[in-house]
Structure 1
Amino acid sequence: MSGMAQVINPAAASILAEAELLTAKNRQEAYGDYREQSRDVAAVWSVLTGVAITPRMVPLMMAALKLVRESGKPKRDNRVDACGYLHLLDQLPED
């Protein structure tokens, strides 16, 4: 099963454990280094909004999106993803 995404049994894992696994391994393998991506996303959002967006703002804004979704239609996925984005924030250098 090497190289395959690990399947998580939601009943057996906390949302924090699930978020850590997704951000630490599965998403890294699928999408690459988040530090590079956060810089690229920040640059694009800065151009689109005309506001200076920093790489550290990217996971905060994505977590906010998940919290808004959670407030309207609660789902485990929203909570896992919000935790995952905050975990990614912790991996980025301070501004």
Structure 2
Amino acid sequence: MLEQAAAIVDADREKTYGETGKNLRAIAEMWEAWLRARGKLAPDAFLTFEDVACMMVGLKLARLANDPRHKDSQIDACGYMRLLERCQE
């Protein structure tokens, strides 16, 4: 499963979504704007690529709560951890 997740993340992902760190930072900025507009994020608070990767793992875990055997969600959760690792390197 870990090898499959790494193969997905390390292959064509950047062709589709762009450079990993840049993409996760763009998601963080969009989430910040949304949270600020909703009054849920202080003006001086910011999200990081780590926040995005970990919260996406949380999303996948929430989906797995409905069906812990769903392989796509398992692989996706591992994939987000791989993205986190790549950004931290």
TM-score normalised by L of structure 2: 0.82
Q: Residue 49 of structure 1 aligns with which residue?
A: 35
Q: Give 1:26 deviation, angstroms.
A: 2.2
Letter in 2 for 1:20: A
**Once superposed, what is the RMSD of the aligned Cα atoms?**
1.4
| Amino acid in the other structure paired with 2:79 | G
Question: Are 1:39 and 2:21 counterparts?
Answer: no
User: Residue 62 in 1 paired to residue 56 in 2?
Assistant: yes
**What SS does the corresponding residue of 1:92 show, helix, strand or coil?**
helix
More helix by share: 2
Distance 1:61 1:78 in 2: 14
Match of 1:53, SS state, is coil
Q: Which runs of 5+ in 1 are unaligned?
A: 1-14
Q: Note the 1:71-82 alignment, pairs <5 A.
A: 71-74=65-68, 75-82=70-77
How many Å separate the matches in 1 of 2:87 and 2:51? 10
Gaps of 5+ in 2: none
TM-score by length of 1: 0.77
Task: Considering Cα pairs closer than 8 Å and 6+ residues apart, tell me whether 1 or 2 has the greater RCO.
Answer: 2
